[in-house]
Structure 1
Amino acid sequence: MLKNYIKIAWRNFRNLKSFGLINLVGLTAGTVCSLAILLYVQSQFGFEKQFDHFENIYKVTTYINNHGEFPDSDFISASPAIGPALAEDFEEVIRQARVVGLGGEYLMKPEGSDKAFFESNSYMVDSTFFELFSFSMLEGNSKTALKEPRSLVLSSELASKLFGEGNSALGKQVQLTSEDDDLSMKVTGVFDENVGDTHLNPNFILSMSSTGFGNFVLNNDGWAGNNFVHTYVQLSPQTNLDDVVKKLPNFLESHGGEQLRSANMDKKLGLFPIKDLNLKSANYSFPLSKVSDINYLYILIAIGFFIQLMACINYINLTTAQGMRRAKEIGVRKVNGASSRSLMLQFVIESIFFSLLAVLFAVPILIGSLPYLNQLFDSSLVTRDVLSLNMFISILLVGFSTGIISGAYPAFYLGMVNVNKIFKVKSQSSRSPFSLRNGLVVFQFAMVFLLIYAVTVVSEQLSHLNEKDAGFSKNQKLVIPLKTASVSANYTTLKTQFESLSQVNSVTACQFYPSQNILHDNKMFRKGTSVSDGKIVHINRTRENFFETMGIKLLEGRTINENDSTQMVVNETFLKHFGIAQEEALGVLFEPWNPDGGVSPAYEIVGVIQDYNFLSLKSEIQPVATFYDTELSNAVVSFNAESPTEVLQAIEENWLAINPSVPFEYSFLDDEMTKVYQEEIRLKKVAYTFTSLAVLISLLGIWGLVSFSLGQRTKEIGVRKVLGASVSELTQLLSKEFIVLVAVSVFIGAPLAYFAMDSWLSGFASKIDNTNFLLISSAVITIMVSMVTVIYKTIHAANANPIDSIMKD
């Protein structure tokens, strides 16, 4: 019987032609969308499972209550001394390991080789790192690889890059040079980086005792500040996590209470399971690596579900609309003893057949779309992921569930047709399901309207962020990292050579340039007050002409110069935090909090600059104090050439003449600013993609319904035309019902669309304020898109020869 049902389904698909094709295309488009989202969502689960005891490994978190001065701080990291103290004080803690992400790049040069290149993504770790995280070692011993100072462990990819494919790296020397370090390191191990999904993705690992900065971490006994160390602990399997967390306040008080009180700091510790880091830690600051956001996945799943549901609605509407075409088939089967149940089963199987046919088309399309999907989701999906067991199960579930959802109502409606009326009434029941059908059309276009409005709002907000004055000039600025101490020492020579070029306006240097988060901060308090009156202030260090080169406006006093040692320039927000009037700021002295209790020099305000958004317009402007320094990480070149190619070539020639052994690297400041909004740009691409699919599916559905409705009214159209009805009158008459449905969908969807996007916009400090106009524009676009489809079909029908229409059987 199943075979017979499938034959009937195939026969009906061939006989229906355009309607069958519309159903198939709609289901295929929806299936591609839902499978793409499922593929990405599955890739975000299962992190850290390759590590032994991953369920018992936790990361120490730090919460700092800033008492309303500015938003509270929630770090996924901790102070240096906390990890070892936890291992010593808590019997539940089996071991601990600390990780410091080095952030910048090291110039790497194998001993005896002429080649050198920069590598990033490096960690400095405790010797216990491989005891907590069981990476597979291809060379070396994980137990001893990090015991000695100057130990270096490489990823297999980097080892091949340094020493050649298939060559052993163990025991070889590598010179590592950065702005702060010049180290001769011994390779003590090579690990396999391709063993599973994890938030730990180093290219190379240094033992903590290898550098001065690492020894600072090892010897630091601070409990209040320096919350930059990623601290992991492994708890014994039987440990009750809540019991350990309850002990943390007393633990912190016993070790660091005095330091916290002297800093007037309200701090709490927590433990976060590493298995949840990828999906549930997005709200924490200072992550070790990029993480996903489970709320983003929920949104994607909802989009995929609704788009697939739209495809199902198309199938339901077109199948029920054409029900009377199969009335005689149903009647004959019932007369011959077929039960309503068997008829329902037949229509469900037909629906599943269509759905699985759509799956057969969708999977190759999905595989072919992987490059685009990887760009869309910022992922690294491959064909193997599509063909995995989990994905195979998901594909079958999508196929069968889509078939059942699509076929449930048509099966019930057609299976319950009254056999006594089938042969008496030619076609009247086609009107009976219209209440449900119309409701489904309204739902479809309400979702389309919401997505169109979302795309419009995201696009406008991105334009607003890119066009709004951030308080500095980002155009025609070249950022050149000074990644080694020797390059940094050559800055003055570089500046002189660069500024001798006619295309260069000026050159400066800084620790952090706009688009970078200013990572250094400290509590500062006005001289004559106590540290309890202090505020947390971001600390930047620059050369003398930084503000002039960046186009940051000076409001009072002067900017930084090379003779400054205890002078600083502050922004407007700094003064607001301390309640100081701008005209009274010059000469005011501030002291920084010294966690060691020593005496620090007082710093004098010599200038006030206009506020500028150093990170992005998503965040409120923070207080910033800027000091003069010579050992800085980045040079910034302001140039005036229309095309940067010529000036880049000249700058590179000067660079290599002064630093022949260091590769020339650069970026444009406006590109760096664009990267700040990468999440919003990706959201825009996602919204565009899925909105396009939703519009396509909905238009296919309304095209099919209009075609069927016009086919049912062919003779009516012919008669009206013979009686003198014009094409415009017929078009208005025939399209009115569908246009009203779309208008109702816009009216229903408007409140949901408005509140959803208003909630999204609330996450920005600077946002667009013309959302009412965008809402109306989106409504007009939704109605116009549907009108084009409906009116095109109705004009075509109205222009048909009335004699042919009347004579048509």
Structure 2
Amino acid sequence: MNLDKMLKNYIKIAWRNFINLKSFGIINLIGLTAGTVCSLAILLYVQSQFGFEEQFENFESLYKVTTFINNRGEFPDAELISASPSIGPGLVEDFDEVLRQARVVSVGGEFLFKPEGSDQSFFESNSYLVDSTFFELFNFSLIEGNLKTALKEPRSLVLSSKLAEKLFGKGNSALGKQIQLTSGDDDLLAKVTAVFDENLGSTHLNPNFLLSMSSTGLGTFVLTNNGWAGNNFVHTYLELRPKTNPDDLVKKLPDFLQRHGAEQLKAGNMDKTLGLFPIKDINLKSANFSPALGKISDIKYLYILIAIGLFIQLMACINYINLTTAQGIRRAKEIGIRKVSGASSNSLMFQFITESIFFSLLAVLFAIPILNLALPYLNQLFDSSLVLQDVLSFKMLISTFLVGLMTGIISGAYPAFYLGMINVNKIFKVKSQSSRSSFSLRNGLVVFQFAMVFLLIYAVSVVSEQLTHLSEKDTGFSKNQKLVIPLKTATANANYETLKTEFEALSQVNSVTACEFYPSQNIWYDNKIFKKGTSVSEGKVVQLNMARENFFETMGIELLEGRSVAENDSNQMVVNETFLKTFGIAQEEAVGTLFDQWNSNGEVSTPWEIVGVIEDYNYLSLKSEILPVATFYNVQLSNAVVSFNAENSIELLATIEENWQAINPGVPFEFSFLDEEMAKVYADEVRLKKVAYTFTGLAILISLLGIWGLVSYSLDQRTKEIGVRKVLGASVSELTQLLSKEFIVLVGISVLIGAPLAYFAMDSWLSGFAYKIDNTSILLITSALLTLFVSLVTVIYKTINAAYANPIDSIMKE
């Protein structure tokens, strides 16, 4: 028989066995399909996270300057993927190895767009200020314009194709159009010089629009700043000459920094080191750096997903192995007849391997449409934008085939060896009982399965409990019924007092205040300050916020000493408890204490005076410790905060919007709720919780399918024994206990094995939180009981059915 005919014959036999043993065949197919859907979903997402930046012509030669600041144990060391403004141009000037540089500054806020000649205006975010050399490093694909000239002139504006279509309509040219841009103090008429295609290739650079650096006040500050020590917020990219060894260049950077910035570093008592980071690794390997420019992934997260996918797929393979070997006796006569007819052990092994590959590829055929249907959920789960084309891409189809092939080989290897090596002389003499080695292997595989199930259940429990702990912990301020309204234009800012008066006249509004950074936002301003009469070497870095006079009262932050910030304050500050602890100041002695601030230019400023002390509040994430914060009075602020008491917020919002439009005509009304903004801080943890729930559910399903099949087979083998015991007077409870004991012991062993691994894995995850749940032993016990419960439900259900069966039917069947 040639190979082609032999394969067809084996596949026919596999299909007949599937039809004849419906329940076991369906269990195998469902288990393999569930595992394959899981592994393909993870594989699809993981593949989408590789290949970043490869669309740029010289991506292998592009690096980003990093900054490491050693805080000598006073605070966590700062690992920044940004640098001071002067670093980039200085490197080009000093080193022949550096071909060119480009600086990028994320604007952070939003610009009000008003196309010339249009009555419509709207806010757009996600913008970069960039050097004129930006496109020399990053050759974006332009739909309109010229890469060489697009950023040469001040107020040059480069749009994404999506934004250009929104502004001017599909198919219409945007080139040369004038747009009025307004943001805070910046009000400029910009000219569209190019439109780029944002859909070509994957990159960490995902701007909605680009502005030439000289267009705004912030950009002018970067261009004219001579800072080498502070202001480490500029994302600096370098293109190295061909054959340059970046490690050799890094060795020269300490001398470079000392040569230009020694005085500034000494004045600030700073210990600073520069480095280089390849842009091709930014998406996956820069998670420990800050601040990120755009959304990035984390290779550690991918490793976790890959491990989960492998474990779940392995569980599906284990089901196949267990059920196939358990049914070995049913196929013993078939094997015996084939051997008597001259079939070799190798040919039999090949047959069973072919059958398992057939089943696994059949599972793949079911998995692909299921995966396609699940794409919306997967995009929500992974925060991705996967589409059908990704599923059907050549790379993914090859990977899918390999997953099916490897699953088939792994699933069929042991059953093929076990069944193929059955002794033909015993086949017709021994009616039942698998060999001890087979029985022991099946037990071991069941233990492994439920150890993984236990680990996942415990992980879900810990993540859920930690998120509940974070949501319920007192943050030191009131986040409920707070409306945040951004003041994004100079006009809106100037009209703040009018807005405040109109809003507070509403019966449902308690009070209105304003601030630069509200809770859930990182405070981006900081400086090193030191007590007057001491030196900068004794200084500490503090976070700097600005607010109106009633900010603390509106936010429900308790004032412990002194007074709040007040109108006409200039150098007076209100500090938090951590500020006092950092400088070793007693609370009752704090008011009146003076501080000097470090200035990189050596200028002497008016001292800052503490006029009040507030209770610590977690303005950002409970994953990190509270930092020292000083709050000053200011009128040029970015956000208004409205405290309200309305049961129906929709009606209140409609009234507030009417007042806004009457006071700020032409400025779109935008808002958010503070409690929702705080929830976004834990978006990664919430997503991890969803991932854990999803894959834990799949793991439980696959394991229960496996144990259902094994229990069914075991009971089928003991049909006569059950009937005889019932005839002799055994009760249902006694039979249930007898029949389920073996599986209960196996699950108990799996819990004991999985407990140490589960505990240490989740303890490591919890170490990333400054405020975490204390005692996880209760969760460990609960997870163990739940693992036992889900397995017992299956085992006991099947055994009770067997125990209630008519003993005469059981004996007759046997």
Per the normalisation by structure 2, the TM-score is: 0.99
Aligned pairs (5 A) from 1:453-602: 453-602=458-607
1:135-163, Cα deviation, whole Å (9 max, x unpaired): 01111111011111111111111111111
Q: Which residue of 1 aligns with 2:655?
A: 650
1:649 CA drift (Å):
1.3
- Could you say what secondary structure the match of 2:18 adopts? helix
Q: Which residue of 1 aligns with 2:812?
A: 807
1:354-401, Cα deviation, whole Å (9 max, x unpaired): 000000000000000000000000000000000011101110110000
1:545-586, Cα deviation, whole Å (9 max, x unpaired): 000000011111111111211110000111111111111101
Please give the alpha-carbon distance, in whole angstroms, between the structure 2 residues aligned to 1:338 and 1:272.
61
Please give the alpha-carbon distance, in whole angstroms, between the structure 2 residues aligned to 1:424 and 1:187.
88
2:707 to 671, 680, 702: 702
1:432 CA drift (Å):
4.8
1:466-500, Cα deviation, whole Å (9 max, x unpaired): 00001111000000000001100100000000000
- Could you say what secondary structure the match of 2:184 adopts? coil
Amino acid at match of 1:742: V
Aligned pairs (5 A) from 1:692-771: 692-771=697-776
Amino acid at match of 1:183: L
- Residues 355 and 400, structure 1, Cα contact 8 Å, conserved in 2: yes
- Residues 321 and 430, structure 1, Cα contact 8 Å, conserved in 2: no
2:350 equivalent to 1:345? yes
1:642 CA drift (Å):
1.7
Please give the alpha-carbon distance, in whole angstroms, between the structure 1 residues aligned to 2:680 and 2:291.
17
Q: Which residue of 2 aligns with 1:83?
A: 88
How big is the alpha-carbon RMSD for the aligned residues of Structure 1 and Structure 2?
0.7
Please give the alpha-carbon distance, in whole angstroms, between the structure 2 residues aligned to 1:804 and 1:482.
81
2:369 to 346, 364, 368: 364
Q: Which residue of 2 aligns with 1:58?
A: 63
2:49 equivalent to 1:44? yes
- Residues 352 and 412, structure 2, Cα contact 8 Å, conserved in 1: yes
2:290 to 277, 285, 288: 285
Please give the alpha-carbon distance, in whole angstroms, between the structure 2 residues aligned to 1:751 and 1:123.
48
- Could you say what secondary structure the match of 1:138 adopts? strand
- Residues 96 and 232, structure 1, Cα contact 8 Å, conserved in 2: yes
Q: Which residue of 2 aligns with 1:178?
A: 183
Aligned pairs (5 A) from 1:418-429: 418-429=423-434
* Structure 2 unmatched ranges of 5 or more: 1-5
Q: Which residue of 2 aligns with 1:106?
A: 111
- Could you say what secondary structure the match of 1:429 adopts? coil
1:307-353, Cα deviation, whole Å (9 max, x unpaired): 00000000000000000000000001111111111111110000000
- Could you say what secondary structure the match of 2:785 adopts? helix
Number of residue pairs aligned between Structure 1 and Structure 2: 809
Please give the alpha-carbon distance, in whole angstroms, between the structure 1 residues aligned to 2:595 and 2:619.
22
Please give the alpha-carbon distance, in whole angstroms, between the structure 2 residues aligned to 1:747 and 1:567.
60
2:638 equivalent to 1:627? no
Please give the alpha-carbon distance, in whole angstroms, between the structure 2 residues aligned to 1:743 and 1:704.
19
Aligned pairs (5 A) from 1:272-311: 272-311=277-316
Please give the alpha-carbon distance, in whole angstroms, between the structure 2 residues aligned to 1:534 and 1:41.
45
- Residues 316 and 407, structure 1, Cα contact 8 Å, conserved in 2: yes
1:319 to 316, 324, 327: 324
1:69 to 74, 77, 97: 74
1:203 to 200, 208, 212: 208
1:429 CA drift (Å):
2.6
- Could you say what secondary structure the match of 1:590 adopts? strand
1:622 CA drift (Å):
0.2
1:643 CA drift (Å):
2.3
Please give the alpha-carbon distance, in whole angstroms, between the structure 2 residues aligned to 1:456 and 1:768.
11
Please give the alpha-carbon distance, in whole angstroms, between the structure 2 residues aligned to 1:567 and 1:490.
25
Deviates more, 1:427-436 or 1:352-361: 427-436
Sequence identity (%): 80
1:431 CA drift (Å):
5.2
Amino acid at match of 2:132: S
Please give the alpha-carbon distance, in whole angstroms, between the structure 1 residues aligned to 2:375 and 2:780.
33
2:117 equivalent to 1:115? no
2:17 to 8, 12, 18: 12
Per the normalisation by structure 1, the TM-score is: 1.00
Q: Which residue of 2 aligns with 1:355?
A: 360
1:213 CA drift (Å):
1.4
* Structure 1 unmatched ranges of 5 or more: none
Please give the alpha-carbon distance, in whole angstroms, between the structure 2 residues aligned to 1:502 and 1:102.
37
Amino acid at match of 1:197: S
Alignment CA distance shift 1:325-1:734 (3 Å): same
Q: Which residue of 2 aligns with 1:246?
A: 251
- Residues 324 and 430, structure 1, Cα contact 8 Å, conserved in 2: no
Q: Which residue of 1 aligns with 2:3?
A: none
Please give the alpha-carbon distance, in whole angstroms, between the structure 2 residues aligned to 1:775 and 1:384.
42
- Residues 326 and 434, structure 2, Cα contact 8 Å, conserved in 1: no
1:430 CA drift (Å):
5.7
Please give the alpha-carbon distance, in whole angstroms, between the structure 2 residues aligned to 1:430 and 1:702.
19
Please give the alpha-carbon distance, in whole angstroms, between the structure 1 residues aligned to 2:434 and 2:44.
42
- Residues 323 and 430, structure 1, Cα contact 8 Å, conserved in 2: no
Please give the alpha-carbon distance, in whole angstroms, between the structure 1 residues aligned to 2:454 and 2:417.
30
Amino acid at match of 2:675: D
Structure 1 runs of 4+ aligned residues shifted over 3 Å read: none
Please give the alpha-carbon distance, in whole angstroms, between the structure 1 residues aligned to 2:690 and 2:210.
36
